[in-house]
Every structure is written in structure tokens, then in C-alpha cells.
Amino acid sequence: MKKIEVVRSPKVMTALAKECLQEGLTIGFVPTMGAFHKGHLSLVKRSTAENDVSVVSIFVNPAQFGPSEDFKRYPRDLEGDLEKLRELKVDTVFSPEPEDLYPGGYLTYVNVEGLSEGLCGTFRPGHFRGVATIVTKLFNIVLPTRAYFGQKDYQQARILQTMASDLNMDIDVIVCPIVREEDGLAMSSRNAYMDEEERRAATIIYRALTKISNMLAHGELPVSRSSDGLRNILLSEPLVDDIQYASAYDPETLEELKQDDCTGEVLLAVALKIGRTRLIDNMIVKI
Ligand code: AMP
């Protein structure tokens, strides 16, 4: 088994990355907030398969949490995470402290306009500005050739692809499929917040997405009725609270699709709360 180097200092991380690049090696990078599940590990496996060296960052980024969000109680388990990575061919874990990345006097933020405003952006103001900023910083520190993100956070992935292209970052932003539990629930570090009853209720999200996606694919529901279709199913579960959004969107622009003459791919996306836990999920449908 390989020994993973745990690096805390951004300067040391960059020095290591430069050594690799000088040797002509490609660097795969998986940015995470830790508390690993199989979704995270699928990104790591893809990185180790496609690159000479792989770096995983573990950093719960304060800049992407709102004042009333779960920054403090977000699960943290560095030792457990390192254990899960040991079987994989990861070279370096980069795990800085908040003050290493946001020292006093920090003033600079990256904002991807438009794409950051709808969907989760409406309910989490400033969230994607925090995400785009930390990912830019991590890209500048880790100097990756390719970076891996999950489709689970579809809007985030679209924002980061756009950011990399708009800012001429010479990095391939690769989006990997959603990994699900056996009952269909998309894996998430936040699933651990739910009790048994809530966890059971949460399967309604996958059931709603699957049902509406099949109906759209078979022409049994017009695209403009997707939101009603999703909401009807979601509301059949009494523990579902606060459906923040549930509808069909253009997978490129993330604009809600209200017309029926759509061809090609449609994004179905949902965000809701079960108890205090906010859950998101999505599915791409070919019409
Ligand atoms: P996080 O630690 O939640 O910031 O997630 C780190 C990366 O893992 C992000 O690119 C997520 O989109 C991705 N990810 C989270 N959950 C899943 C999942 N169930 N399947 C695939 N990728 C995921």
C-alpha cells in the first residue's frame, strides 16, 4: 500500500506540484470537503486512472457557507478519510487550515455571473462565489492537468467549467456520474444528518426524478409539466418540507424550460428539505 503524503502548507503543495510538472507528469485533482463516501471515491479512482499523480484536497471552505448554514456541524473525519484513500493510488492529500487560505486582509473573490444566480444560488446567496473562489485558489496551488467534479452538484460543475473556460485556465474540468445508495438516494456527506425515518423518506427524490424522467423520455408528459409532475410525487411524502426547486432546466444555461418543443437533453433538478437536512439531486433526460 502506498504512503499518502499529507500537506498542510499551500507553498509546499505548489512546490511538489511544480516538481511533478517539471518531470512531465500529469496531475489529477479532486477537490472535496471530506467525510468521504463512494461518490468522492469514484472521482478519486477516475483521477488515478487518468493521471500520473493524484492530489485530493480536504477543506471545509467557510466562504461557501451562509451565516445560518451548517459550517460548524459539517462532518469532519480526516483520519477516516485517509484510511479510505489508502487502497487507492493517491499521492497527496492537501488539507490546509482556513487561515492558510483566507489570511487577515483577504479581499479577492471570483463570481461566475448568471449561472450562479438561479437554482441553489437563489437559496444560498454567495455560495457559488465561495465555491468559484476556493476552486480558483486550489487550482493555483495544486496546478492540476485535470480536475474531477460530481454531477451530483450539477450547477457547481457547470459554473466551474464556465469559470475555467472564461478565465483561460488550462485545466480539463471533468464531470463524473452520480453515485447512489442501493435505494437510489444520491450519496452525500449530509445524508448522515438524517434519522432513520427521514432517510427512508429521502428516497422519494430518486423515485420522483426516475418517474418524471421516464415519462419525458417516452413523450408521456410535456416538458412544461415537469415541475408539477415532480412536485406532486415529492409532496406525497409527508416528511418532505420546503421544496426549493423542482423542474426541468436547460443543461447548458440552467434556465427553466417552460416550452414543450425541447429536443436533446433536459436537466431535471430538485432541492428540498427533509427535517433540517437540505438535499439536492438531478438527472439528465434525453428527449
Ligand atoms: P463535497 O465534499 O460535497 O464538496 O464533494 C466533493 C466532490 O464530490 C464534488 O465534486 C461533488 O460533486 C462530488 N460528489 C458528491 N457526492 C457525489 C455523488 N453521490 N456522486 C458523485 N460525485 C459526488
Residue of 30, 36, 37, 40 best suited for mutating to test ligand 1, as the one with most atoms within 8 Å of CB: 40
Beta pairing, strands 265-274 & 277-286: antiparallel
CATH architecture of 5-176: 3-Layer(aba) Sandwich (3.40)
pLDDT tier at 3 (50, 70, 90 boundaries)? Answer: confident
Would the CB of 33 count as within 6 Å of ligand 1? yes
Q: How many angstroms does the Cα of residue 131 sit away from the middle of ligand 1?
A: 13
Residue 36 Cα: closest atom of ligand 1: 2
Nearest CA to ligand 1 atom 13: 150
Which residues on adjacent β-strands are paired with residue 174?
148
pLDDT bin (cut points 50, 70, 90) of residue 66 is very high
CA distance from start to end of the chain = 46
Instruction: Tell me phi and psi for residue 239, to 5 degrees.
Output: -80, -10
Residue 150 has φ and ψ, to the nearest 5°, of -95, 145
Classify domain 189-286 by CATH architecture.
2-Layer Sandwich (3.30)
What is the pTM for the complete model shown? 0.97
Please give the order of strands across the beta sheet that includes 27-32: 5-7, 92-94, 53-58, 27-32, 146-150, 172-176
Report the atom number in ligand 1 closest to the C-alpha of 177.
Answer: 21
43 C-beta closer than 6 A to ligand 1: yes
- Please report the pLDDT score of residue 161 as a whole number: 98
Q: Which of 21, 23, 24, 43 is nearest to 32 (CA)?
A: 43
Contact present, 29 and 147 (Cβ < 8 Å): yes
56 SS3 class:
strand
Pair 257, 223: CB distance under 8 Å: yes
Q: 164, 137, 142: which is closest to 54 by C-alpha?
A: 142
Q: Which pLDDT does position 260 carry in this prediction?
A: 84
Give percent of the chain above pLDDT 90. Answer: 96
- Quote the CA–CA distance of 135 and 57 in Å, as a whole number: 10
Average pLDDT value for the chain: 97
CA 39–ligand 1 middle distance (angstroms): 6
User: Which amino acid does the sequence have at 112?
Assistant: V
Tell me the domain boundaries of the chain. 5-176, 189-286
- In the DSSP assignment, the letter for residue 224 is G
pLDDT at position 2 is 63
Using DSSP, state whether 6 is helix, strand or coil: strand
Per-residue pLDDT tens digits for 81-90: 999 999 899 9
CA-based nearest residue to 223, from 262, 253, 254, 255: 262
Q: Count of alpha carbons within 13 Å of 35, Cβ hemisphere only?
A: 13
> How far apart are alpha carbons 105 and 137 in whole angstroms?
16
Is 37 catalytic? The answer is no
